[in-house]
Structure 1
Amino acid sequence: MAPTPSHSSLRTVRDLLRYAVSRFHGARLSFGHGSANAYDEAAYLVLHTLTLPLDTLDPFLDARLLPEEIDAVLAVIERRVTERVPAAYITHEAFMHGLRFYVDSRVIVPRSFVGELLQEGLEPWIGDVSQIGPVLELCTGSGCLPIIAAHVWPAAHIDAVDLSPDALAVARRNVADYRMEDRITLFEGDLYDPLPAGATYDVILTNPPYVNEASMRDLPPEYLAEPRMALAGGDDGMDIVRRIVAGAKKRLNPGGVLVVEIGNEHANVEAAFPDLEIVWLPVSAGEEQVFLVTYEALPG
Structure 2
Amino acid sequence: MRTHAIAVLTEAGVPSPEADADLLIGHVLGFSRGQVQAKALIRSAVDAEQILAITEAVERRSLREPVQHITGLAPFRLLELAVGPGVFVPRPETEFVVQFAIDALAAVASPEPLAVDLGSGSGAIALAMATEVPHSRVVAVENSPAALPWTRRNVQRYGADRVRLVFADLADALPELDGTVDVVASNPPYIPLGAVPRDPEVRLFDPEAALYSGEDGLDAVRALSRTALRLLRPGGALVIEHGELQAASIAAILRADGFTAVDAHRDLLGRDRATTARR
TM range (shorter): 0.7 to 0.9
Question: Is the Cα contact below 8 Å between 2:189 and 2:220 reproduced in 1?
Answer: yes
Does the alignment pair 1:289 with 2:273?
A: yes
- Indicate how the Cα distance of structure 1 residues 66 and 290 shifts in structure 2: closer, same or farther if over 3 A, else same: same
Question: Is the Cα contact below 8 Å between 1:102 and 1:170 reproduced in 2?
Answer: yes
More divergent stretch after superposition (279-288 vs 235-244): 279-288
Matches within 5 A, 1:242-261: 242-261=222-241
Tell me the amino acid that sits aligned with residue 100 of structure 1. Answer: E
Match of 2:243 in 1: 263
Q: Secondary structure at the match of 1:95?
A: strand
Tell me the amino acid that sits aligned with residue 288 of structure 1. Answer: D
Matches within 5 A, 1:1-300: 16-29=1-14, 31=15, 37-63=16-42, 64-82=45-63, 84-111=64-91, 113-119=93-99, 122-123=102-103, 127-128=107-108, 131=111, 133-178=113-158, 180-199=159-178, 200-215=180-195, 217-224=196-203, 225-266=205-246, 269=249, 273=253, 275=255, 278-295=262-279
> Gaps (5+ residues) in structure 1?
1-15, 32-36, 296-300
- CA separation in 1, counterparts of 2:145 and 2:227? 22
Question: Is the Cα contact below 8 Å between 2:105 and 2:182 reproduced in 1?
Answer: no
Tell me the amino acid that sits aligned with residue 281 of structure 1. Answer: H
Q: What is the alpha-carbon root mean square deviation over aligned residues?
A: 2.5
- Indicate how the Cα distance of structure 1 residues 67 and 167 shifts in structure 2: closer, same or farther if over 3 A, else same: same
- CA separation in 1, counterparts of 2:100 and 2:213? 28
- Indicate how the Cα distance of structure 1 residues 121 and 131 shifts in structure 2: closer, same or farther if over 3 A, else same: farther
- In the TM superposition, what whole-angstrom CA distance separates every residue of 1:242-277 from its partner, at most 9, and x where no partner exists? 111123221101111110000334266358538555
- CA separation in 2, counterparts of 1:92 and 1:138? 23
Tell me the amino acid that sits aligned with residue 37 of structure 2. Answer: D
- CA separation in 1, counterparts of 2:34 and 2:78? 12
- CA separation in 1, counterparts of 2:54 and 2:110? 46
Tell me the amino acid that sits aligned with residue 222 of structure 2. Answer: R
Count of aligned positions: 271
Tell me the amino acid that sits aligned with residue 283 of structure 1. Answer: D
Tell me the amino acid that sits aligned with residue 50 of structure 2. Answer: E
Question: Is the Cα contact below 8 Å between 2:247 and 2:275 reproduced in 1?
Answer: no
> Gaps (5+ residues) in structure 2?
none
TM-aligned CA deviation for residue 129 of structure 1: 7.5
TM-aligned CA deviation for residue 121 of structure 1: 6.1
- In the TM superposition, what whole-angstrom CA distance separates every residue of 1:71-100 from its partner, at most 9, and x where no partner exists? 221111112223x21111111111011310
- CA separation in 2, counterparts of 1:61 and 1:69? 16
Question: Is the Cα contact below 8 Å between 2:101 and 2:185 reproduced in 1?
Answer: no
TM-aligned CA deviation for residue 288 of structure 1: 0.4
Tell me the amino acid that sits aligned with residue 84 of structure 2. Answer: D
- Between Structure 1 and Structure 2, which shows a larger proportion of helix residues? 2
Question: Is the Cα contact below 8 Å between 1:107 and 1:170 reproduced in 2?
Answer: yes
Q: Secondary structure at the match of 2:194?
A: helix
More divergent stretch after superposition (128-137 vs 200-209): 128-137
The alignment's TM-score, normalised by the length of structure 1, stands at 0.81
Question: Is the Cα contact below 8 Å between 1:132 and 1:202 reproduced in 2?
Answer: no
The alignment's TM-score, normalised by the length of structure 2, stands at 0.87
- CA separation in 2, counterparts of 1:274 and 1:133? 23
Question: Is the Cα contact below 8 Å between 2:93 and 2:267 reproduced in 1?
Answer: yes
TM-aligned CA deviation for residue 22 of structure 1: 1.5
- CA separation in 1, counterparts of 2:18 and 2:99? 27
Give aligned-pair identity as a percent.
30
- CA separation in 1, counterparts of 2:235 and 2:29? 50
